[in-house]
Amino acid sequence: MILVAGSANLDFVVRAHHIPAPGETVLGRDFQTFPGGKGANQAVACARAGGAPTLLLAAMGSDPFAAPIEASLRNAGVKTSIVRCENEPTGTAFICVSDDAENAITVAPGANLQLKAQHLPELVGVSHVLMQLEIPMETVTAYAMQARRQGVTVVLNAAPMQMLPTELLESVDILIVNEGELTAMSGAAGTVAQRLERTPVPTIVVTLGHLGCCVRTQGTFLLQPAFAIDPVDTTAAGDTFCGSLIAALTQSTDLQTALALACAASALACTRAGAQDSIPQANEVIRFLKQHPGAEPAGLDVLRAYCGLPLGKKS
């Protein structure tokens, strides 16, 4: 089983021609609410897109905002361990989605900040603990250290980016970041590959948007180009990638195949509106991969060049 420990939010989403600049007012169009939060999104991706048994540990308020989130989790087959906060509201996120599918997000954490070290359940039967940084850093660190002591694989999606304590990094087996987060952690100097080399975890995955992703694991590099799509909304694309990747790895899938599954699930999520609502079913991911059976050599070469790896080689 995968234990996802993280945030649960209700997303308030407005579509507009473009994301407003500082001081600018933009006239929006459609407004909807969607279940979201990085922890809840990744749990849904593990269970729905990845088909893996999943438990979400999250904190929510006793307000009406919690109900649609919990319903979404149940519908996806996610088991829950909810810390109920009487004096804090359920977390919320305010999202503007532009016509070119980019987004700007502001999160009000609310009850998410009340998830504490003592709330970690027993890890019997848990193979992977997957976390993000929308809950307190000291909580993430405590969970990671406890999981490491019990021989559970620790996965951290270091988003939104914060400085990571040494004791947390030392407890992480798999680190997932986007390019901006990688730069913040390792500095801007050097190629993507060189920055991955400077990050002291056994396996690190960097997502590179429309280019795909690059992995450094035990001194070897793996590449997976992105799939070409017409994006509608990129909200939760990264969360879908994370959950799908870890779900595949729990099912003894090799890392290269798991990357293809995760990129396919993420691509499908970008073709739909919303966070959890956009996450595909496992059979949709498999069907999509059958329709896109292999990476185009040109796409691989572009990705290799961007990452600073030799052309024509995987590592």
CATH number for position 303: 3.40.1190.20
pLDDT level of residue 313 (50, 70, 90 thresholds): low
81 neighbors 115 (Cβ within 8 angstroms) = no
pLDDT level of residue 311 (50, 70, 90 thresholds): confident
40 neighbors 276 (Cβ within 8 angstroms) = yes
Residue with the two structure tokens 């798991």: 258
Q: What is the mean pLDDT of residues 73-79?
A: 97
Please, how many CA atoms are within 13 Å of residue 36, restricted to the half-sphere of its CB?
27
Q: What is the mean pLDDT of residues 283-297?
A: 82
Can you tell me the distance from the alpha carbon of 53 to that of 47, in angstroms, rounded to the nearest whole number? 6
233 as an active site residue: the answer is no
Residue 230, token pair as written in the block: 């017409």
pLDDT level of residue 315 (50, 70, 90 thresholds): very low
Say if residue 207's pLDDT is above 60. Answer: yes
> Which value, in Å, is the radius of gyration of the alpha carbons in the chain?
19
Q: Is the dihedral of CA 80, 83, 85, 86 positive or negative?
A: positive
Task: Please tell me the predicted confidence (pLDDT) of residue 232.
Answer: 86
196 neighbors 204 (Cβ within 8 angstroms) = yes
Task: Please tell me the predicted confidence (pLDDT) of residue 228.
Answer: 87
| Percentage of the chain lying above the pLDDT 90 cut | 81
Spell 196-224 as b/e; 16+ CB within 10 A means b.
beebebebbbbbbeebbbbbbbeeebbbb
Inside any domain, residue 250:
yes
Say if residue 43's pLDDT is above 90. Answer: yes
Task: Please tell me the predicted confidence (pLDDT) of residue 296.
Answer: 63
- The pLDDT tens digits for 80-129 are 999 999 999 999 999 998 988 888 889 999 999 999 999 999 999 999 99
Say if residue 314's pLDDT is above 90. Answer: no
Inside any domain, residue 240:
yes
Q: What is the mean pLDDT of residues 194-201?
A: 94
Can you tell me the distance from the alpha carbon of 69 to that of 55, in angstroms, rounded to the nearest whole number? 14
Inside any domain, residue 313:
no
Can you tell me the distance from the alpha carbon of 152 to that of 248, in angstroms, rounded to the nearest whole number? 16
Inside any domain, residue 315:
no
- Please state the separation of Cα 60 from the chain's center in Å: 20
Q: What is the mean pLDDT of residues 22-33?
A: 91
Can you tell me the distance from the alpha carbon of 300 to that of 307, in angstroms, rounded to the nearest whole number? 11
Domains in the chain: how many in total?
Answer: 1
Can you tell me the distance from the alpha carbon of 56 to that of 82, in angstroms, rounded to the nearest whole number? 8
223 neighbors 208 (Cβ within 8 angstroms) = no
Task: Please tell me the predicted confidence (pLDDT) of residue 60.
Answer: 98
Range of the structural domain that residue 158 is part of: 2-21+28-307
Inside any domain, residue 180:
yes
Say if residue 299's pLDDT is above 90. Answer: no
Residues in the chain: 315
221 strand-pairing partners: 216
| Percentage of the chain lying above the pLDDT 70 cut | 97
- The percent of the chain in helix, strand and coil, each rounded to the nearest 5, is 35, 25, 40
- The pLDDT tens digits for 132-147 are 999 999 999 999 999 9
138 neighbors 112 (Cβ within 8 angstroms) = no
Residue 76, token pair as written in the block: 């996806």
Say if residue 178's pLDDT is above 70. Answer: yes
Kindly state the DSSP code that residue 158 receives in the 8-state scheme.
Answer: -
Q: Which amino acid is at 18?
A: H
Task: Please tell me the predicted confidence (pLDDT) of residue 112.
Answer: 98
User: Greater confidence, 301 or 311?
Assistant: 301
Catalytic residue, candidates 11, 233, 239, 277: 239
Residue 57, token pair as written in the block: 């540990």
Inside any domain, residue 314:
no
> How many CB atoms within 10 Å of residue 163?
9
